[in-house]
Amino acid sequence: MQAWNIQYTKQAERQLKRLSPDVETRIRSFMENRVAKLEAPQVIAKKLSGAYEDRIRYRVGDYRVICRIEDHLLLILVVEVAHRREVYR
């Protein structure tokens, strides 16, 4: 089993930096220690629909981490990180 690589878009990096340091650490830790080590990271995610149908969502407390999975590259691309009340706007 190979570990998945986690990459963050510039937008996701900016959004993470705006969060409190403990929330940022919690989200990064979740992605690196839990998601990246799974054989199929989609199993703990929710597939999105509509305009976001090519993306999945992870729930980390009150925050949502929106990602795209690139299976052939073993890559999880984090495209958005936001509070649950703001993420789909």
Q: Where are the alpha helices (DSSP H) in the chain?
A: 10-18, 21-29
The pTM (predicted TM-score) of the whole model is: 0.92
Asked if residue 27 lies in contact with residue 35, where contact means CB atoms within 8 angstroms, the answer is no
What's the whole-number mean pLDDT along residues 2-31? Answer: 96
| Residue 50, Ramachandran bin (φ over 0: left; ψ between -120 and 50: alpha; else beta) | left
pLDDT above 80 (res 88)? no
Model confidence at 3, pLDDT cuts 50, 70, 90, reads confident
In this model, does residue 1 exceed pLDDT 60? Answer: no
Chain centroid to Cα 7, Å, comes to 9
pLDDT digits (tens, 9 = 90+) for 34-83: 999 999 999 999 999 998 899 999 999 999 999 999 999 999 999 999 99
CA distances in angstroms from 80 to 11, 27, 36, 39, 84, listed in the order given: 7, 12, 17, 23, 11
**The residue to which tokens 């407390």 are assigned:** 61
> Which domains are seen in the chain, by residue range?
5-83 (3.30.2310.20)
